[in-house]
Amino acid sequence: MKFSIRNAGDVVVIDAVGKITLGEGDVEIKQAVDELVKRGRKKILLNLAKVPYMDSAGLGEIIRCFTALRKNGGQFKLLSPNARVRDLLNITKLLTVFDSYDDEETALASFT
């Protein structure tokens, strides 16, 4: 998995590309979010448009990122999960926890 980080105003957008699975992307996402939190960034949007698959380890890291930001007064939201990832989020009832958006403009406007 690869990712890039960009700023959209006061929101940090992480554009992920590839699978987020045990040993492939889960640690990278964790390290990136931890570093952003250390720098005082409190609004993170994880773009999943180019993530074809996520396993339980990847899901666990996303939950951990959400929790870490929430504890620090931040917000962590999801952008453009594909049907497969959205199904995983539905099955695990995590779409009731995460704010998820289909377009970036709406997602960015949702941050307070």
93 Cβ contact partners less than 8 Å away, ≥ 6 residues apart: none
What pTM was computed for the model?
A: 0.94
pLDDT at 22 over 90: no
Report the alpha-carbon distance of residue 44 to residue 87 in Å, rounded: 22
Q: Span 25-51, mean pLDDT?
A: 92
Query: Cα-atom radius of gyration of the chain, to the nearest Å?
Result: 13
Q: What pLDDT sits at residue 83? A: 96
- pLDDT per residue over 48-82, tens digit each? 999 999 999 899 999 999 999 999 999 999 999 99
61 neighbors 26 (Cβ within 8 angstroms): yes
Taking CA atoms, 13 is separated from 23, 53, 90, in Å, by 22, 19, 23
Q: What pLDDT sits at residue 38? A: 93
CATH node for 2-110: 3.30.750.24
Q: Tell me the H-state helices in the chain.
A: 26-38, 56-71, 83-91, 104-110
pLDDT at 99 over 80: yes
Long-range CB contacts (within 8 A, 24+) of 34-41: 34/68, 36/5, 36/12, 37/68, 37/69, 37/72, 37/74, 41/12, 41/74
